[in-house]
Amino acid sequence: MGFFARDPVRDFPFELIPEPPEGGLPGPWALHRGRKKATGSPVSIFVYDVKPGAEEQTQVAKAAFKRFKTLRHPNILAYIDGLETEKCLHVVTEAVTPLGIYLKARVEAGGLKELEISWGLHQIVKALSFLVNDCSLIHNNVCMAAVFVDRAGEWKLGGLDYMYSAQGNGGGPPRKGIPELEQYDPPELADSSGRVVREKWSADMWRLGCLIWEVFNGPLPRAAALRNPGKIPKTLVPHYCELVGANPKVRPNPARFLQNCQAPGGFMSNRFVETNLFLEEIQIKEPAEKQKFFQELSKSLDAFPEDFCRHKVLPQLLTAFEFGNAGAVVLTPLFKVGKFLSAEEYQQKIIPVVVKMFSSTDRAMRIRLLQQMEQFIQYLDEPTVNTQIFPHVVHGFLDTNPAIREQTVKSMLLLAPKLNEANLNVELMKHFARLQAKDEQGPIRCNTTVCLGKIGSYLSASTRHRVLTSAFSRATKDPFAASRVAGVLGFAATHNLYSMNDCAQKILPVLCGLTVDPEKSVRDQAFKAIRSFLSKLESVSEDPTQLEEVEKDVHAASSPGMGGAAASWAGWAVTGVSSLTSKLIRSHPTTAPTETNIPQRPTPEGVPAPAPTPVPATPTTSGHWETQEEDKDTAEDSSAADRWDDEDWGSLEQEAESVLAQQDDWSTGGQVSRASQVSNSDHKSSKSPESDWSSWEAEGSWEQGWQEPSSQEPPPDGTRLASEYNWGGPESSDKGDPFATLFARPSTQPRPDSWGEDNWEGLETDSRQVKAELARKKREERRREMEAKRAERKVAKGPMKLGARKLD
Paired with 164 in beta bridges are: 138
- Summarize pLDDT for 147-169 with one digit per residue, the tens: 999 999 999 999 888 888 888 76
**Which pLDDT value is given to residue 750?**
36
Neighbours of 557 (CB within 10 A): 8
**Which pLDDT value is given to residue 243?**
92
Paired with 43 in beta bridges are: 34, 94
Q: How far is it, in rounded angstroms, from Cα 682 to Cα 167?
A: 92
| Overall average pLDDT of the 514-532 stretch | 94
Paired with 93 in beta bridges are: 44, 79
Tell me the residue type at 685. Answer: S
Which residues neighbour 580 within 8 Å (Cβ) at sequence distance 6 or greater?
Answer: 373, 374, 410, 411, 413, 414, 572, 644
**Which pLDDT value is given to residue 180?**
76
Buried b / exposed e along 210-231 (16+ C-beta atoms within 10 A): bbbbbbbbeebeeeeebeebee
Rg, C-alpha atoms of the chain? 41
**Which pLDDT value is given to residue 50?**
87
E-strand spans in 535-619? none
At 798, is the pLDDT very low, low, confident or very high (cuts 50, 70, 90)? Answer: low
Neighbours of 722 (CB within 10 A): 12
What are φ and ψ of residue 34, in 5° steps? -145, -175
Q: Kindly compute the dihedral angle of the four CA atoms of residues 638, 639, 641, 643, in this order, to the nearest 10 degrees.
A: 160
**Which pLDDT value is given to residue 799?**
55
3-state secondary structure of 76: strand
- Long-range CB contacts for residues 621-626, cutoff 8 Å, separation at least 24: 621/535, 621/539, 622/535, 622/536, 622/539, 622/546, 622/550, 625/492, 625/495, 625/496, 625/532, 625/536, 625/565, 626/564, 626/565, 626/568, 626/591, 626/593
User: Out of 11-20, 90-99, 685-694, 778-787, which region has the weakest mean confidence (pLDDT)?
Assistant: 685-694
At 549, is the pLDDT very low, low, confident or very high (cuts 50, 70, 90)? Answer: confident
Higher pLDDT: 263 or 702? It is: 263
- Summarize pLDDT for 749-776 with one digit per residue, the tens: 333 333 233 333 333 444 566 677 888 8
**Helix intervals (H) in 109-187:** 114-129, 179-182
**Which pLDDT value is given to residue 323?**
76
566 pLDDT above the threshold of 60? no
787 pLDDT above the threshold of 50? yes
**Which pLDDT value is given to residue 56?**
84
What are φ and ψ of residue 459, in 5° steps? -75, 155
In the chain, what percentage of residues exceed pLDDT 90?
A: 35
**Which pLDDT value is given to residue 475?**
93
451 pLDDT above the threshold of 90? yes
Q: How far is it, in rounded angstroms, from Cα 358 to Cα 393?
A: 7
At 193, is the pLDDT very low, low, confident or very high (cuts 50, 70, 90)? Answer: low
Paired with 97 in beta bridges are: 149
pLDDT mean across residues, the chain:
74
Q: How far is it, in rounded angstroms, from Cα 626 to Cα 588?
A: 14
Higher pLDDT: 18 or 90? It is: 90
Higher pLDDT: 315 or 707? It is: 315
At 534, is the pLDDT very low, low, confident or very high (cuts 50, 70, 90)? Answer: very high
609 pLDDT above the threshold of 70? no
**Which pLDDT value is given to residue 287?**
85
- Strands 79-84 and 88-94 turn out to be antiparallel
Please state, in angstroms and as integers, the Cα–Cα distance from residue 233 to each residue in 219, 221, 243, following that order.
Answer: 17, 20, 15
Short-list 34, 128, 153, 150, CA closest to 82: 34
410 pLDDT above the threshold of 70? yes
**Which pLDDT value is given to residue 195?**
61
- Summarize pLDDT for 629-672 with one digit per residue, the tens: 333 333 333 333 333 333 333 333 333 333 333 333 333 333 33
**Which pLDDT value is given to residue 94?**
93
Q: What is the 3-state secondary structure (H, E, C) of 628-639?
A: CECCCCHHHHHH
At 222, is the pLDDT very low, low, confident or very high (cuts 50, 70, 90)? Answer: confident
**Which pLDDT value is given to residue 319?**
85
pTM over 0.75: no
* C-alpha neighbours within 13 Å on the C-beta side of residue 509: 8
**Which pLDDT value is given to residue 782?**
87
